[in-house]
Amino acid sequence: MAQEPDMRIKRAYEPPSGDDGLRVLVDRLWPRGLRRQEAAIDLWRKELAPSAELRIWFGHDPGRWDEFRRRYLAELAPKAALLDEIRRSAAGRRLTLIYAAKDEAHNQAVVLRDLLAAAARTIGE
C-alpha cells in the first residue's frame, strides 16, 4: 500500500516555517499586502488556480462548494503535467500548498491537496 504523501495547506498570511518543505502558491493573484520576501514562496503555479470566472462565481460561498469542486477538477483535468511537476519537485519532502482565502475549509488548495493525494495513492497501487 502506498504511503500518504506529506502535504499540508497553509494561508499565505501565516508565517513560513522551516518544516513547510516546498512552498507552492496556488492563487492566480499575489496575496494582497504580502511582500514576496516574507512569503518565502518556492514556486508560484497560478496556472493551477481556478479560472477568474470560476473564482468569481464561487465567491467563497460554502453553499457552492460541491459544484465549485466539480468545476475546478474539470479545469485541472488537462493540467496533469503541472500536477506531476509539483509532485516530482516535492519528492522526499513535505509539500505545502499556499493560498490566501480566509476560509480554510473551502478553497482551491483543499481541492488540490485531495487531488494530489488521490493521484499518489493511485500511482502507489
The pLDDT profile of the chain, 125 residues, written as one tens digit per residue, is 345 569 999 999 999 999 999 999 999 999 999 999 999 999 999 999 999 999 999 999 999 999 999 999 999 999 999 999 998 888 889 999 999 999 999 999 999 999 998 887 765 54
Asked if residue 1 belongs to a domain, the reply is: no
Element (H, E) at 119: helix 108-124
**Contact present, 87 and 7 (Cβ < 8 Å):** no
Q: Which residue type sits at 15?
A: P
Could you report how far apart the first and last alpha carbons of the chain are, in Å? 6
In a domain, 65, yes or no: yes
The pLDDT of residue 82: 93
Instruction: Write out the residue range of the structural domain in which residue 37 sits.
Output: 7-124
The pLDDT value given to residue 32: 95
Predicted pLDDT of residue 87: 87
Examine residue 31 and state whether it is found in any structural domain, yes or no.
Answer: yes
In a domain, 32, yes or no: yes
Does residue 82 belong to any structural domain of this protein? yes
Q: What is the pTM of this model?
A: 0.91
Q: How far apart are CA 78 and CA 7, in angstroms?
A: 22
Q: What is the pLDDT of residue 4?
A: 55
Residues 72-111 as b/e (b if ≥16 CB within 10 A, e otherwise) read beebbeeeeeebeebbeebeeeebbbbbbbeeeebbbbbb
How many domains are contained in the chain?
A: 1
